A and B are shown apart, each in its own frame.
Chain A
Amino acid sequence: MIEWFNQIQWEYLYDPELAWNSVPVLLEGLKITMIIAFFSMFFALILGILIGIMSMSKLLFLRMPAKIYISFMRGTPLLVFLFILYYGIPVLGVEFRSPIVAAIVGMSMNFAAYNAEVIRSAIMSVPRGQWEASASLQMGYIQTLRRIIIPQATRIALPPTFNIFMDIIKGTSLASIITVQELLYSSRLVAGRTFDSMTMYITAAIIYWIVCIILGYFQDRLEKRYNRYLSVR
């Protein structure tokens, strides 16, 4: 065992010097990654809330499109969808200014479906009594949703929503395939020049992880805030 350990040539697996020197290039990539991730989270959440609420509507012409949308987006791979968007849409005469925009549009649309499901289930998990109490106090639908249901649903939706956010951050790596020069693309660039892909992939992985740890910290803080009214006995 020890023998095996000693004979590994670590410099082939990970070269700290190369990793350190490539940080500036990787940070350039990270910037793009964060831009895509940030906008995708934002639009996926807004779109997700909208579609989530639509999917619960009693009105068929609101519910049906939402259901079909969710089904399609959850049922197709993000990468395939990005290909269709980036290479297919120009055929229709519309061209994305940059692949970054295509990535943001594609990721927002795709992850909105997951957000919609999280929001639907969170709203449904608020007890029916809350709706009835609000109704008996003459509160309207929008008012009840905004002041009573959503604050409680938010607490329930937080952990799965942050799961999606982390998926979005990691999912930005797919954008490298449609030529977006984000974090993974940058690391592959360096890897191609130095013939040391392992160092670059591991470094990229660590950077993704750090970003997700920071995001997890925000999740923690938000959860504490939204749980403050519970079990204070």
Chain B
Amino acid sequence: MIKVEALKKQFDDLTVLESIDFSVKKGEVVCLIGPSGSGKTTLLRCLNLLEIPNNGTISISNKTVVFDKKAPTKKEMLALRSFSGMVFQGFHLFPHKTVIENIIEAPLTVKKKKKLELINEGEQLLEKVGMFEHRNKYPDALSGGQQQRAAIARALMMEPEVMLFDEPTSALDPQLVREVLKVIEKLAKEGQTMVIVTHEMNFARRIADRVLFMDNGYIIEEGPANEVLEQPKEKRTKQFLQLLDDTE
């Protein structure tokens, strides 16, 4: 489903990602973990082309885009992006639109679908994420957990092949984390392909088919969740997990 080869990303002189290779199979859930500044968020944003890589290749579904000195065309990048949906740490719902307006906005204006059908579709999706009763509220009237669940529905409305989550629960109050993670687990059970940047190790252990540990712009270690999280091979992975244990 996803194949990334020799991906490199620099911000001016700072190299954030260095020779990244990994792949995700259809229906697989992959969690990216690692200390802050390790490049995991940048990697995720590269998959959605919110950051343009300097070098390398990204394939999602049947679309392959090569990045080098000559940037790929807008059309190519849009095509690649259309296969992934993004959920942000800060939700980024449109504050001037109600929940239902938020989630039908893109299919309405980008895919030019019929509004009535979309409302129907949208209400079903809101039901699934437990947001149906809030469909006519503005984001400002919702809790963080509710906003994030609406944001997940908004991304799903575009029917992406892959869902990308950038620390979906990091901006939430502790008691709201569960309701969001439950929605993500529900999607996993349905076979949705997902890449999740997270600091919730227990969640990663439960949900991930595979875990990638990143540090300093490199993928240091990857493997099945229980292997990487329980018996890490690399020293840096051990240190990182040890540090997390200490703080808990």
Q: Which A residues are in CB contact (< 8 Å) with B141? A: 232-233
Residues of B within 8 A of A147 (CB): 105, 109
Most buried by A among B81, B88, B109, B141: B109
Chain B residues within 8 Å of A129, by CB = 88, 90, 92
Instruction: Flag whether A133 is at the interface (Cβ < 8 A).
Output: yes
- What chain B residues lie within 8 Å of A140 (beta carbons)? 110
Interface size class of B (residues with CB under 8 A): 20 to 34
- Assess the B110–A138 pair: CB atoms within 8 A: yes
Q: Which of B84, B96, B110 contacts A229 (CB 8 A)?
A: B96
Instruction: Let me know if A152 is at the binding interface, CB within 8 A.
Output: yes
- Measured CB to CB, the nearest residue on chain B to A155 is B96
Q: Does the CB pair A136–B155 fall under 8 Å?
A: yes
B89-112: which have CB < 8 Å to A? 90, 92-97, 105-106, 109-110
| Complex contact A139–B110 (CB within 8 A) | yes
Q: How far is the CB of A145 from chain B (nearest CB, A)?
A: 12
The reply to whether the CB of B154 lies closer than 8 angstroms to some CB of chain A is yes
C-alpha gap A230/B86 in the complex (Å): 25
Task: Please name the residue on chain B nearest to A135 by beta carbon.
Answer: B50
- A136 B96 Cβ-Cβ under 8 A: no
Q: Which of A133, A138, A152 contacts B78 (CB under 8 A)?
A: A138
A112 CA / B106 CA spacing, docked (Å): 33
Chain B positions 74 through 87: 1 when the CB is less than 8 Å from some CB of chain A, otherwise 0: 00001001101110
Task: List which A184-233 residues lie within 8 A (CB) of chain B.
Answer: 229-233
CB-CB under 8 A from A134, the residues of chain B are: 106
Give B78's nearest chain A residue, CB to CB: A138
Choose one: B86, B109, B140, B151; the contact of A233 (CB below 8 Å).
Answer: B140
Tally A-B pairs: CB < 8 A: 71
> Whole-angstrom distance from the CB of B117 to the nearest CB of chain A?
18
Interface residues of B in 131-153 (CB under 8 A from A): 137-141, 151
A136, B50: Cβ atoms under 8 Å?
yes
In the complex, B48 has a CB within 8 A of chain A:
yes
Q: CB distance A132 to B95 under 8 Å?
A: no
Residues of A within 8 A of B106 (CB): 134, 137-139
Contact A130:B78 (CB < 8 A) given known A147-B109, A229-B140:
no
Chain A residues closer than 8 Å to B137, beta-carbon distance: 232
Choice from A133, A230, A231 contacting B92 with Cβ under 8 Å: A133
Whether B154 and A232, one on each chain, are in contact in the complex, defined by CB atoms closer than 8 angstroms, is no
A143 within 8 A of B: yes
- CB neighbours of B110 from chain A (8 A): 137-140, 143
Q: A137-B105, A138-B81 are in contact. Are A148 and B140 (CB under 8 A)?
A: no
In angstroms, Cα B90 to Cα A143, docked, is 22
Contact present for B88 and A230 (CB under 8 Å): no
Closest to B102 in A: A133
Chain A residues engaging chain B, CB cutoff 8 angstroms: 127, 129-130, 132-140, 143, 147-148, 151-152, 155, 229-233
Q: 13 A-B residue contacts at CB 8 Å?
A: A130-B92, A133-B92, A135-B81, A136-B50, A136-B84, A136-B85, A136-B86, A137-B85, A139-B106, A139-B110, A143-B109, A229-B140, A232-B137
Please give 4 more A-B residue pairs, beta carbons under 8 A apart, in addition to A133-B151, A233-B141: A132-B92, A137-B155, A231-B140, A232-B138
Counting from the closest, the 8 A-B pairs by CB-CB distance are: A137-B106, A129-B92, A133-B92, A136-B86, A229-B138, A138-B110, A151-B96, A232-B141
